[in-house]
Amino acid sequence: MALWLAATAALALWGLLLLALALATRNPSVRPGPATGVMAGESPAVVDLITGGWKLCEEATSATLLDLAAKGAVQIEEVGPELSLVRLRHPTGLNPYEQLVYDHVASLARDGVVATGALAEGSRNLGRWWKSFRKKVVADARERGLSRPRWSRLHVVLLTATAAVPAALAGIAVAVSDHKHDGGPGTAILVFAALITLAGKLNGERGTELGGQAAAHWLGVREHLATARFADKPAAAVTIWGRPLAYAAALGLAPRAVTSLPVSVPADDRRAWSDYGGMWHRLDVRYPGRLIRGRKPLHTIGRGLAAGFFAGFWSWIVLIALAAFELVPSGLPQPLAFLVGLAVAAVPLVRAVLDLATPAQVEGQIVRLRRQESGGSRGRTRHVYWCAIDEGRSRELTAFGIAGEQWERLSEGDLVRARAGRHLSWISEIEVVGRARPGGGYGAADTVQAPENLGELRRDMLGG
């Protein structure tokens, strides 16, 4: 009992030490400076960091892209009510996180052009990409003397060394109280790891005195920019407003521009952008219910027959009961039950037979590859695989079901030729005729000309 009390007391003391250090390393108190239009030397991403409590927000990536446009590294053009384009230039002197954003845009561009909505496309690891972006922005802020780690080396050594005390006591307490099992060392390791993890979670960035002064200045700039009403300005307005729009985005004053540049936003399962057919256009992707669709034709036939049998059987039971109370004629239960079973089985059977008899040839570009869990048994998870193909004919797509071994060979952006059934939305055969570009970018094909009524402009009509 004494060992458990000692372990609890040591743990409480370590918690008090952590709390004291957390209070001692708080960010400096920042009050907005006087309203001013003077833009200091920090980038919009660094401004986002220091004015957001030294926590980087998602608009930092959009603000960085706007800043690249203001400096001529890219050009943002509004060519229609639903379409803006980012055109790549030849930048020089970009810092590491600006280069990261530029490279992402370049990976999605075709002939140096990408639609703004398509900036969320691609198969990149978003978590890893964002972590790299944040690390580079923080490095810039530290180099300028505006930010530093919350825990110094002395803090880390102190918290690590003192965490070993409650961990060791907890391990000894377990070992003494339970002689049959050797759980002491494991308990000590787990407690120590938990305490170090907790301390690590709190080890973010904190501002320096110089960083607090810079944050106050930029909050004053925010008050000045708030009078310009940037909230309804599109991203293409950067050609008129220049860097002030980029800083307004970093300071939370330009939500429309930020929303239209989803650089760090994961791709939407039900919304996609494609340039297949030679022009950028947005697509709505629908995933059909799997009661009938999204399955192999032979599986659907089997399910249809089984569903028809059970529907007919239970209808027969119900009708017999009704006939016993003379609610239906005695001769009707069997034929009515047969008709019910036939009606239930007919829909999937007809769809499956039509797909087997008249398969469709589908050619286009893969815009969505998705995998969904569908239950499982004996500890094994089963998945459903979907593949949405843009054929350049419609802005509304229905995803096809596909076998897992075929799905694994594909990538978003691949140009494919498939043999599929449209009644069951199932791909039986698929061939890749053109691989996606490295980086997950989409390519364009000239084999299909998308109809002009989609409301977008062809890239070759927009000039160099």
Cα separation, 298 vs 356, whole angstroms: 9
pLDDT of residue 122: 65
Tokens representing 80 are 């229609």
pLDDT of residue 175: 81
* One-letter identity of residue 403: A
Return the higher-pLDDT residue of 202 and 221: 221
pLDDT of residue 453: 32
Residue 450 has pLDDT above 50, yes or no: no
pLDDT of residue 378: 61
Are the C-beta atoms of 19 and 202 separated by less than 8 Å?
Answer: no
Neighbours of 111 (CB within 10 A): 13
Cα separation, 208 vs 148, whole angstroms: 7
pLDDT of residue 377: 58
CB-based contacts of 75: which residues, under 8 Å, 6+ apart? Answer: 69, 86, 87, 89, 239
Task: Name, of 64-68, 102-106, 203-207, 313-317, the range with top average pLDDT.
Answer: 64-68
Are the C-beta atoms of 293 and 401 separated by less than 8 Å?
Answer: yes
pLDDT of residue 368: 92
pLDDT-derived band at 323, boundaries 50, 70, 90? confident
pLDDT of residue 142: 95
* One-letter identity of residue 9: A
How buried is residue 229: exposed, middle or buried, by Cβ count under 10 Å (0-12/13-18/19+)?
A: exposed
Nearest to 224 by CA among 249, 248, 250, 243: 248
pLDDT of residue 180: 64
Residue 220 has pLDDT above 80, yes or no: yes
Residue 452 has pLDDT above 50, yes or no: no
Cα separation, 202 vs 323, whole angstroms: 73
pLDDT of residue 396: 93
User: Can you give the length of the chain in residues?
Assistant: 464
Residue 235 has pLDDT above 90, yes or no: yes
Residue 461 has pLDDT above 70, yes or no: no
Q: What's the chain's average pLDDT?
A: 86
Average pLDDT over every residue of 142-153: 92
Cα separation, 330 vs 335, whole angstroms: 11
pLDDT-derived band at 124, boundaries 50, 70, 90? low
CA distances from 318 to 60, 144, 315, 321, 338 (A): 64, 80, 5, 5, 13
Cα separation, 105 vs 385, whole angstroms: 28
pLDDT of residue 342: 92
What pTM does this model have? 0.75
pLDDT-derived band at 292, boundaries 50, 70, 90? confident
Nearest to 273 by CA among 385, 383, 168, 395: 395
Residue 446 has pLDDT above 50, yes or no: no
- Encode pLDDT of 364-395 as tens digits: 999 999 988 876 556 677 889 999 999 988 89
- Encode pLDDT of 264-289 as tens digits: 888 888 988 888 887 788 899 999 98
pLDDT of residue 146: 95
- Of 2.40.50, 3.30.70, 3.30.56, 1.20.81, the CATH number of 359-452 is 2.40.50
Cα separation, 306 vs 49, whole angstroms: 60
Cα 29 from chain centroid (whole Å)? 34
pLDDT of residue 123: 58
pLDDT of residue 444: 39
Tokens representing 268 are 């939407």
Residue 464 has pLDDT above 60, yes or no: no
pLDDT of residue 181: 62
> What are φ and ψ of residue 395, in 5° steps?
-90, 0
% of the chain beyond a pLDDT of 90: 52
